[in-house]
Amino acid sequence: MKSVILLLVSFVFSLSIYAKNESQPVHVEVTGKGKPIVLIPGFTVPGDIWDPLVKKLEKNYECHIVTLAGFGGKEPIEFPWLPKVNESLKNYILKNELQNATIIGHSLGGTIATWLATQKDLKLSKIILIDALPASGALMIPNFNPENLAYESPYNNQQLAMDDAAFEQTAAAMSKGMSVKESAQEKIKNWILESDRKTYVYGYTDYLKLDLREDLKSISIPVTIIAASQPYGEEMVKQTYKNQYANLTDYNFIMAEDSAHFIMLDKPSWFLEQMQMILSSKE
């Protein structure tokens, strides 16, 4: 009987450890050998979006592929979501002693990469930002004030209350503006649908609240930005990035022509070539 009780205690304890491990802000897979690179995907997107790039890089780089809590089948965490994600990634880099790591981030992942580059106790090599802004909320919301954004809002409540059919229609509509390819649009829609709904709603509020424009002044490492020309056109895109990154003293800017937000899906060959050139360039 005693052995049965011990077995049950052990089983419950192992379950609690498993649950704790599953409910982490970030989940990281590591492959390859060489200089460390941390790859952070965008909102709702699983880490495997980087697979084609990782296959090119893993012979010469140690790739740390991130998936954020609530996305890609990962368990959600308690809110606030994004501050915990940011701190968890920072701690991961410090704990694993990823000296002079390069951070590659798409969309929200690029915003997180920018935040990491502002942290004085991290020694990073460079950051590569793919269609990412330091303050997306300022671009989207008139009279932007982060303090006015709250989880409890009519828009958020509407998103949470949607039935599956209505939410799928919303996801499909959103995906159409994010890629010029129908196959990619379908993939993006499914990533949205597979995400934890609360993380999708409240996590996006966290994202919009983050404003790093003043913090850009503290970044001294090389920064490369790859921006998509669609759907707004090159001139508007250039002006947007010029305004948003006004406090960044120096950066390399590359325009991805005839591509929407998911550049790696719209122009895969071009994207891989650009990334390899950027990574091989001298700092």
Number of domains in the chain: 1
Q: Are 52 and 82 in contact, with CB atoms under 8 Å apart?
A: no
Query: So what's the pLDDT on residue 282?
Result: 64
Query: So what's the pLDDT on residue 19?
Result: 36
Query: So what's the pLDDT on residue 5?
Result: 39
Q: 10 Å Cβ neighbour count for 245?
A: 22
- Alpha carbons 198 and 79: distance in angstroms, whole number: 9
Domain extent for 31? 26-280
Residue 30, domain member (yes or no): yes
Query: So what's the pLDDT on residue 281?
Result: 82
Residue 68, domain member (yes or no): yes
Q: Which helix (H) or strand (E) holds 31?
A: strand 26-31
- Listed as ranges, residues in the chain with pLDDT below 70 are 1-22, 282-283
Residue 2, domain member (yes or no): no
Name, in order, each residue with C-beta under 8 angstroms of 187's C-beta and a sequence gap of 6 or more.
Answer: 265
**Beta-ladder partners of 40:** 105
- Alpha carbons 136 and 132: distance in angstroms, whole number: 8
What is the pTM for the complete model shown? 0.91
Residue 12, domain member (yes or no): no
Query: So what's the pLDDT on residue 14?
Result: 35
**Beta-ladder partners of 101:** 124
Residue 10, domain member (yes or no): no
Q: What is the CATH number of the domain that holds 250?
A: 3.40.50.1820
